[in-house]
Amino acid sequence: MVVAEPTGRSMADANDRETDRLAALDALDILDTPRDDGIDRVVRLIKHVFAIEIGIVSLIDAHRQWYKACSGLLAEEVPLKDTFCRYVVACDEPLVVEDATKDPRFARHPAVTGADHLRFYAGVPLKTRDGHTVGTVCAIDRSPREFTPRDLSVLTELAGVAMDRIELLQSAATDGLTGTLTRRAFREEAEKLISLAVRHQHELSCIVLDVDHFKRVNDTYGHAAGDEVLKAVAATCQSNLRASDLFGRLGGEEFAVILPHVDSKGAVAAAEKLRAAIAAQTIHGDFGSLAVTASFGTSTLSTKTRDGGTLLSQADAAMYLAKAAGRNRCVDWLSLDAGYQAGPRQRVLKAGTILFDDSHSSIDCTIRSLGADGAAITVSNSAGIPPEFVLVVAGDGFEAKCHVVARDRQNLELAFG
């Protein structure tokens, strides 16, 4: 069974559909979250049931396919334009390719012609209860093979199991690895503390921290060592925070803190205390001994910053500036120079396009936060993106000239104008 690429849809309809799809994905709040044993089990079942080499459960945002669980491939994500799965998302239908060398869409694909040597692909939509395709569930092999209607039915059922597990994770309050609050639970509790601070007019600040060069730890020492690093960082933070502070894990190696009754100066002091404690510790395990550092961003409640989304987005942006400045340091959102306005931000998940070289070159991106004066975006690889370009959000009819304030391998902090 081979599903053709969709035709006949207007650009406006396609933009509206993608906007709705990304909104459904955003509501799940699952992107870049830690591994989960339940979804890992689905991937193992895919490999076992179909006797194939590669199983994947993925989520797809505006520019990439991110693997929530993957067995048989080393990558954690791939650009959307390079995936077989973009056809599944475009059509909202399963796609089966029994021999990729005989399919004109994939015969010259690097994953087919190169070292991965992919031949067989079966992908089904990962759909919400409202029918939005937020990702895919895939069975992949390095040899051509047949895939019967019964096989496709079984893979579709496994996709349903994966979706059930994702929805169940929304109710989880505690991160299984570190014992901290999950991202969703942290955000919900943060909003309560912020509401109290606004109502009673007391200070409140936020810290976002990210372990430096964490991918290097995993690549060099293995994921077990990475897990030990995360547990050690979390334990160090918890032992250096007050009982009244809120602490949670936002993503793979990213954590956040809400500090009630703490102003901007106090937030920087607290972040510096955490930074020094993390840098001073040595982590021991079967992998030997290693040390890590972390980068910190802080933000504080103000007349412009009165919600959790803005507070976290500002602290996150400041953290990326800390990384751009050399890592293992703290940056306060309010300390940014006058040329970079510290305005409110809204957390979003939108499809964007970067235009440069007089609009002759373009790169897809996902917008993570947006304000009147700037944005935070994610790309597959920031190398080659110039310091100034035009950001377009087709679904909103938005276009703005930007300059890059800070960047790492995949994230860019932008100022408009």
CATH number at residue 313: 3.30.70.270
- Closest alpha carbon to 105 in 257, 237, 2: 2
CATH number of the domain within which 155 lies: 3.30.450.40
C-alpha 43/C-alpha 140 separation (Å) is 11
Domain boundary among 335, 354, 369: 335
Longest dimension (CA), the chain: 67
pLDDT-wise least confident of 150-154, 230-234, 319-323 = 319-323
Q: Are residues 358 and 324 in the same domain?
A: no
Q: Assess whether pLDDT exceeds 50 at residue 198.
A: yes
Say how many C-beta atoms besides its own lie within 10 A of residue 379's C-beta: 23
Give the ranges where 56-129 is alpha helix by DSSP (H): 85-91, 110-113
pLDDT, mean of residues 222-228: 93
Q: Assess whether pLDDT exceeds 80 at residue 304.
A: no
The reply to whether 146 belongs to the active site is no
Please say whether the beta carbons of 46 and 154 come within 8 A: no
Say how many C-beta atoms besides its own lie within 10 A of residue 26's C-beta: 17
Between 160 and 17, the more confident residue is: 160
Per-residue pLDDT, 371: 85
pLDDT, mean of residues 297-318: 84
Q: Are residues 188 and 282 in the same domain?
A: yes
- Closest alpha carbon to 349 in 79, 10, 36, 59: 59
Single out the catalytic residue among 77, 228, 253, 413.
253
pLDDT-wise least confident of 81-85, 233-237, 326-330, 372-376 = 372-376
CATH number of the domain within which 408 lies: 2.40.10.220
Per-residue pLDDT, 340: 58
pLDDT, mean of residues 145-160: 98
Q: Are residues 360 and 410 in the same domain?
A: yes
Q: Are residues 117 and 196 in the same domain?
A: no
pLDDT, mean of residues 63-77: 94
Q: Please give the residue range of the domain that contains residue 238.
A: 183-335
pLDDT, mean of residues 110-120: 94
Q: What percent of the chain has pLDDT over 90?
A: 79
Q: Assess whether pLDDT exceeds 80 at residue 4.
A: no
pLDDT, mean of residues 328-342: 75
Q: Assess whether pLDDT exceeds 90 at residue 306.
A: no
